[in-house]
Amino acid sequence: MTTPLLTVRSVKTFYGRVMALKGVDLDVNEGEIVTLIGANGAGKSTLMMTVCGNPRAREGMIDFAGQNITRMPTHEIARLKLAQSPEGRRIFSRMTVLENLQMGATTADPSHFKRDLDRVLTLFPRLQQRISQRGGTLSGGEQQMLAIARALMAQPRLLLLDEPSLGLAPLVVRQIFDAIKTLNAEDGLTVFLVEQNAYHALKLAHRGYVMVNGFITMSGTGHELLERPEIKSAYLEGGRH
Amino acid sequence: MEVFLQQLINGITLGSIYGLIAIGYTMVFGIIGMVNFAHGDVFMVSSFIALVAFLLLVSLLGSSSIALVLFVVLIVAMLFTSLVNWTIERLAYRPLRGSFRLAPLISAIGMSIFLSNFVQVTQGPRNKSIPPMVQGDFVLFTKNDYPVTLSVKQLIIWIVTAVLLVCFWYLVTRTRLGRAQRACEQDQKMAALVGVDVDRTISMTFVIAAALAAVAGTMYLMYYGVVSFADGFVPGVKAFTAAVLGGIGSLPGAVIGGILIGLIETMWSAYFSIDYKDVAAFSVLAITLIFLPQGLFGRPDVEKV
């Protein structure tokens, strides 16, 4: 077995004195879709941001593509081709859609720009129509597409997606999940997906992790987790969500 | 009418200088949310750099090739002032990032005092003057024995300002650096996530702000022929007023605000009392802050969440 693309080992992250991640272990292998599910406030987004070095892990170790990135500045981590579509989308709202995509390509090889741009615009044709519009004027779904497209412009080896389905209509969610599936199947893109929408995420993913209160409590293939009674009651059958 | 036209010419000239300084305030505020109170003194320092460069060059080259001298002086002033401002950011502001909000502001006031005192001690407290660099006027027309003139100096200031603004506009809207700058202005965390070196971008902002202030400083020296260590404060605060009037954070606002302040000042001097011209200019600051706090071009921040 080859070494994983992303390795997280006993990572602890604090906000002030509050421990948000209490020793997280997790792997993402090349070519996989891995999902992390859990309730609000479990620490999912914190883990995503910790991987990118903001906030920084106080203890533990994070390896990406054979390099220890635990102490690396955020922009240098991005240069290793680790791209994130973060919580809340964080579109540059006073920049146009095209400029947002150009920002996404900051670390990418400029000679591929045209090709990458065509690729993401084929994937999300809606962005083509909005290309010279300001990011802040887009609808929620379009902004989410833009956030993903922006991350893709970096030609990432690993794409971190934080709740891409949040607040979107079911049809749009399907479009976005289809796009993730296509990217993984056709381009071999490795995806690490954080979701509250557990059913869709687990159906899409090869493997999944469940996070509760800053701990990973369960892991397994998507199918295994979907069948687990605890998961069903907590995340699927309209239990708490 | 002729007085009005003459004052219009004078006002636009003065306003161009304010506008160039105001861009520095507005850019720095835009990217790190700090009013850089030392910026007026950076402008004054640039004037002194231009003065020294000018005197050196004239003694080397003679005053025959004045266009070349002026050009070289401008470049030298821009380079050295950029270096000064880059250093200030590195030493006095960057270590305070992430500290409480007022810390860099206090540090900026400290730098302002430091710069003016440093120049006072090293260059002496008296006005420094240079022999007139450029002479000559164009009489546009004469009416009632009152010639409306545009001096060569004024023309140079207009042209240099216009060219610089076009270059600057291109830099901000069309280049990678400009985009990175605007991205940092909106969301530093996200900018870092896409791979922008935020610290470096902030440094570059200070460099560009200083380069524009140096253009203003050189033009100021050429226009008035004298400069003193205390000349940073008043033009600095007026340019700050211009930035607030235009809407702090807005680049076109800074330029237009600068020209408006220049016009208000010259018109007031012509029609009311020249002694109170600064009062008029500063009243604008108070009035803007009370009735139009977002300024003329301030963004109304309509954002979808």
Q: Which amino acid is at B206?
A: F
Q: Which of A78, A136, A140 sits opposite B302 (nearest CB)?
A: A136
Does the beta carbon of B94 lie under 8 angstroms from any beta carbon of chain A? no
Q: Which of B182, B197, B299 sits opposite A75 (nearest CB)?
A: B197
Residue B75's alpha-carbon distances to B53, B72, B170, B217, in angstroms, are 10, 5, 19, 12
| Nearest C-alpha neighbor of B194 from the set A184, A100, A95, A119 | A100
How many percent of chain B have pLDDT more than 90?
68
Q: Is the pLDDT of residue A238 over 60?
A: no
CATH number of B2-291: 1.10.3470
φ, ψ of residue B206 in degrees (nearest 5): -65, -35
Is residue B206 within 8 Å of B88, Cβ to Cβ? yes
Each residue's pLDDT tens digit, A127-140: 999 999 999 999 99
Q: What is the DSSP string of B158-185?
A: HHHHHHHHHHHHHHHHHSHHHHHHHHHH
User: For the sheet containing A18-28, what is the strand order?
Assistant: A18-28, A6-15, A59-64, A67-68
What's the pLDDT band for B301 if we cut at 50, 70, 90? Answer: low
Residue holding tokens 């016009």? B263
CA–CA gap between residue B230 and residue B120 (Å, rounded) = 8
CA–CA gap between residue A6 and residue A68 (Å, rounded) = 10
Residue B166 token pair:
């076009």
Cβ contact A136–B195 (<8 Å): no
CA–CA gap between residue A24 and residue A61 (Å, rounded) = 10
Helices A97-104, B176-186: axis angle to 10 degrees equals: 100
CA–CA gap between residue B236 and residue B256 (Å, rounded) = 16
Each residue's pLDDT tens digit, A16-43: 999 999 999 999 999 999 999 998 889 9
Lowest mean per-residue pLDDT among A148-157, A202-211, A229-238, B173-182: A229-238
Each residue's pLDDT tens digit, A174-228: 988 999 999 999 999 999 999 988 888 999 999 999 999 999 999 999 989 988 8
Residue A174 token pair:
């399907």
Query: Å from A87 to nearest chain B CA?
Result: 10
The SS3 assignment for B106 reads: helix
Each residue's pLDDT tens digit, B241-285: 999 999 988 888 999 999 999 999 999 998 888 888 888 888 888
CA–CA gap between residue A38 and residue A52 (Å, rounded) = 20
Query: Å from B295 to nearest chain A CA?
Result: 18
Each residue's pLDDT tens digit, B98-155: 888 889 999 999 999 999 999 999 998 899 888 887 888 888 888 888 888 899 999 9
Burial label for A15, CB within 10 Å (0-12, 13-18, 19+), is: exposed
Query: For chain B, what is the mean pLDDT?
Result: 91
Is residue B111 within 8 Å of B197, Cβ to Cβ? no
Radius of gyration over every alpha carbon of chain B, rounded to an integer in angstroms = 19
Q: Which amino acid is at B104?
A: P
Is residue B180 within 8 Å of A106, Cβ to Cβ? yes
pTM surpassing 0.95? no
| CB count in 10 Å sphere of residue B123 | 16
| Nearest C-alpha neighbor of B256 from the set B289, B227, B296 | B296
* B-chain residues near A75 (CB < 8 A): 192, 195-198
Would you kindly state where each structural domain of chain B is located, as residue ranges? 2-291
| Nearest C-alpha neighbor of A209 from the set A229, A231, A239 | A231
What's the mean pLDDT in B15-21?
95
